[in-house]
A and B are shown apart, each in its own frame.
Chain A
């Protein structure tokens, strides 16, 4: 989430590809003035441990001026699906 700019999806996609993380779904929109991009990824074959991926993803976000958070799909299911 953050301000839209050129290359966000390209950079994030490349980041995942380099680590063998498969993108299963992707969408983006603007909500109340904020650029919001969502990706659903499968980390089963990731070449790096989850904690490392999270740290690196935070750094990548900061370099582009956006906040990137990685959360388990179950958290969203718990909150929004009965």
Chain B
């Protein structure tokens, strides 16, 4: 036998028992050549290009699943930030782009198209402002379109005008989808240091520095890491760190194999592999349960940040050697509603919004899929965003906020988003005002250590 029984069983167990899968293959497509003099002409070009370039994506994904025996959960498309493409036509309402992208997503059979986006970390271009204003309508009238806005970066600082505006936009998007617990906000993420090659939604877009097209891959596997650690109960951190690295290496090798094969069949370059451990609401697919396996009674209690720091870093160290190009977010996601263990931790009172914020200093993204009361003020939402942007800016890492002020619901109520988005208890926020802070506007300057030239 080419492989030992132990090796074969280990691999098969990863897929059958521990829910290992490729979470997403995301085809990034540049739309820079679609900009035309009118909006309708631009949208016609985009529609034609996406249907042509991404046409085979779902079929290729399915063929690889069958042939390799590796599940590929989501097939997705990311595009150039629409604000860049829509700028030349100078329309005021950019929601029709979302309608068109929603149509394209259905035609292609992909679950999401990401890139209804603007990059405003240093300031707004006219089209950026119009795109952001169009977000509530765009997300409440479509199903498969994701929006993102980069509000800050280590190099540019934090655009506090945009932070203030996003508080308003998030509330409005929630209220427009009040009957579905504000689901529009589950498709909206704001970033600091947004990666241009992220395969994961809602934040995926194909950055202006990317090639014509590229296939990016997001692997999953929290269940596999958790299972590997079960053999190391009571062991020292040196051994634990090593176990995570080895497992991450194996998972990543599999992702690299599938990603490069998909890219080859699509005739596009392989972009990056995103090493993120991405949970789902299913039992056995939880990042919180890994933290608990490390010896924490409930995710969110003291020690959770250190546990997550270890996990994130070892996933990177194991994964980086297994892939030609690593990128995207890479680390561990800590969404609340999408992780059964995080939901349980909130319910038990172990996990609060403040502890989540602390954990975002060492996870790969930020405050993710957090439900808060629907009557939280716009300025408080902006202030939550500002805190998260500051963490990303100062630490030179990606941070993000995907927060849902659930209309009509109060702290402790249940918010349901459905499917992979899951559901979560509504978390309380501080009752004190940040109004005057958010009202200032302007830009928080970049930190001193950003000047590396």
Interface residues of A (CB under 8 A from B): 1, 25, 27, 29, 31, 34, 36, 38, 40, 50-51, 54, 67, 69-80
Task: List, in ascending order, chain B residues with CB within 8 A of A80's CB.
Answer: 3, 7, 11, 250
Q: List 13 A-B contacts (CB under 8 A).
A: A27-B5, A29-B5, A36-B8, A51-B66, A70-B69, A71-B68, A75-B68, A75-B69, A76-B8, A76-B11, A79-B253, A80-B3, A80-B250
Assuming the contacts A27-B1, A40-B2, asked whether A71 and B256 have C-beta atoms less than 8 A apart, the reply is no
Assuming the contacts A75-B257, A76-B8, A78-B256, asked whether A25 and B1 have C-beta atoms less than 8 A apart, the reply is yes
Contact (Cβ within 8 A) B9 A74? no
Task: List, in ascending order, chain B residues with CB within 8 A of A1's CB.
Answer: 9, 12, 16
Contact (Cβ within 8 A) A38 B11? no
User: Which one of B1, B8, B10, B253 contacts A78 once the chains associate, using CB atoms below 8 Å?
Assistant: B253
Task: List, in ascending order, chain A residues with CB within 8 A of B69's CB.
Answer: 54, 69-72, 75
Given contacts A40-B1, A80-B250, 19 further A-B contacts (CB under 8 A): A1-B9, A25-B2, A27-B1, A31-B9, A34-B9, A36-B9, A38-B5, A50-B67, A71-B15, A72-B67, A72-B68, A72-B70, A73-B2, A74-B68, A75-B257, A78-B257, A79-B7, A79-B10, A79-B11
> Is B6 close to A, CB under 8 A?
yes
User: Which one of B6, B16, B254 contacts A75 once the chains associate, using CB atoms below 8 Å?
Assistant: B254
The proximity string for B residues 401-428 relative to A, scoring 1 for CB distances below 8 Å and 0 otherwise, is 0000000000000000000000000000
How far does the Cβ of A40 sit from chain B's closest Cβ, in whole Å? 7
Contact (Cβ within 8 A) A69 B67? no
- The docked-state distance in angstroms from the alpha carbon of A79 to that of B11 is 8
Contact (Cβ within 8 A) A38 B68? no
Which residue on chain A has the smallest CB distance to residue B8? A38
Task: List, in ascending order, chain A residues with CB within 8 A of B8's CB.
Answer: 36, 38, 76
Task: List, in ascending order, chain A residues with CB within 8 A of B68's CB.
Answer: 71-72, 74-75
- The docked-state distance in angstroms from the alpha carbon of A75 to that of B257 is 7
Q: Which of B2, B8, B250 has the most chain A CB atoms closer than 10 A to its own CB? A: B8
Contact (Cβ within 8 A) A36 B254? no
How far does the Cβ of A7 sit from chain B's closest Cβ, in whole Å? 20
- The docked-state distance in angstroms from the alpha carbon of A70 to that of B257 is 17
Which residue on chain A has the smallest CB distance to residue B66? A51
- The docked-state distance in angstroms from the alpha carbon of A75 to that of B254 is 6
Which residues, 199 to 215 on B, are CB-close (under 8 Å) to A?
A: none
Task: List, in ascending order, chain A residues with CB within 8 A of B66's CB.
Answer: 50-51, 54
Contact (Cβ within 8 A) A79 B67? no
Which residue on chain B has the smallest CB distance to residue A49? B66
Task: List, in ascending order, chain A residues with CB within 8 A of B256's CB.
Answer: 78
Task: List, in ascending order, chain A residues with CB within 8 A of B253's CB.
Answer: 78-79
How far does the Cβ of B318 sit from chain A's closest Cβ, in whole Å? 12
Interface residues on B, range: 20 to 34
Task: List, in ascending order, chain B residues with CB within 8 A of A34's CB.
Answer: 9
Which residue on chain B has the smallest CB distance to residue A27? B1
Task: List, in ascending order, chain B residues with CB within 8 A of A78's CB.
Answer: 253-254, 256-257
How far does the Cβ of A5 sit from chain B's closest Cβ, in whole Å? 18
- The docked-state distance in angstroms from the alpha carbon of A6 to that of B5 is 20
- The docked-state distance in angstroms from the alpha carbon of A80 to that of B92 is 55
Closest 10 CB pairs of A and B: A71-B69, A78-B253, A72-B68, A78-B257, A79-B250, A29-B5, A80-B7, A51-B66, A76-B3, A27-B1
Assuming the contacts A74-B257, A75-B69, A76-B11, asked whether A31 and B6 have C-beta atoms less than 8 A apart, the reply is yes
Task: List, in ascending order, chain B residues with CB within 8 A of A38's CB.
Answer: 1, 3, 5, 8
Task: List, in ascending order, chain A residues with CB within 8 A of B12's CB.
Answer: 1, 69, 71
- The docked-state distance in angstroms from the alpha carbon of A70 to that of B3 is 15
Contact (Cβ within 8 A) A69 B16? yes
How far does the Cβ of A34 sit from chain B's closest Cβ, in whole Å? 8
Contact (Cβ within 8 A) B15 A69? yes
Which residue on chain A has the smallest CB distance to residue B251? A79
Assuming the contacts A69-B16, A70-B69, asked whether A75 and B5 have C-beta atoms less than 8 A apart, the reply is no
- The docked-state distance in angstroms from the alpha carbon of A76 to that of B12 is 9
- The docked-state distance in angstroms from the alpha carbon of A69 to that of B9 is 11
- The docked-state distance in angstroms from the alpha carbon of A42 to that of B254 is 21
User: Which one of A40, A51, A75 contacts B70 once the chains associate, using CB atoms below 8 Å?
Assistant: A75
- The docked-state distance in angstroms from the alpha carbon of A78 to that of B249 is 10
- The docked-state distance in angstroms from the alpha carbon of A78 to that of B70 is 13
Task: List, in ascending order, chain A residues with CB within 8 A of B67's CB.
Answer: 50, 72
How far does the Cβ of B53 sit from chain A's closest Cβ, in whole Å? 26
- The docked-state distance in angstroms from the alpha carbon of A11 to that of B67 is 23
Task: List, in ascending order, chain A residues with CB within 8 A of B70's CB.
Answer: 71-72, 75
Which residue on chain A has the smallest CB distance to residue B5? A29
The proximity string for B residues 2-36 relative to A, scoring 1 for CB distances below 8 Å and 0 otherwise, is 11011111111001100000000000000000000
